[in-house]
Amino acid sequence: MLNDHRSLRFWILFSILLLSGITALAQAKSGVSSTRDRPDDPLNRDPARPNAYDMEYSRLGSKTEMESLLKSGNAAREAKPPRYADAEKAYLRAIEINPKESRAYLGLGSTYAGQNRVKETIEAFKKAIELNPKLAEAHYNLAMVYWATNQKEDALKHYEKLQELNQNMAKKFKEHMDKH
């Protein structure tokens, strides 16, 4: 009787395996995916097609790299003497990683301003404001550039916006206007 139970278990197990194999084969032929074909399955995924975990990990890595690049760009720009080429390179790399990072455009604009590259300065500050309209420092810097290049009307528009965003910066710009 013991042998009959073992024999019965064997045939049941064999039938289950055979049935699951036939089912998997039928699913494969019909295009129905099994649980082994899930894109989130770490053992069976295509590395060329990242899943949610990979994308989140990549985003966090990029965020860390972004902060490092911004810090590096700021340090190069503020060095004595300024290392504008290094700063520009860091900011452009940050923009490459995340084209929507307004701080990278702000730093790039300041780098261009330090080199008297007026057209590029204005473009960079405008892009920073486009991405983050409440970035007071970009409005202040753009107002200063406009004022310095005798575009008073444009400078006053950014001064008005600055009054809404940051009273201290608005006051500082007003003092500059009164002196010049």
Residue type, 140: Y
What pLDDT score does 7 carry?
67
Give the contacts of 109 (CB within 8 A, at least 6 positions apart). 120, 121, 122, 123, 124, 125, 128, 138, 141, 142
Looking at per-residue pLDDT, the higher value among 60 and 141 belongs to 141
pLDDT in tens, 53-99: 555 545 555 678 999 999 999 999 999 999 999 999 999 999 998 99
pLDDT(152) > 90 = yes
What pLDDT score does 63 carry?
77
Report all structural domains of the chain as residue ranges with CATH numbers, in order of start.
Answer: 52-132 (1.25.40.10), 133-180 (no CATH)
Residue type, 22: I
pTM for this predicted structure: 0.67
Q: Please, what is the end-to-end C-alpha distance for the chain in angstroms?
A: 108
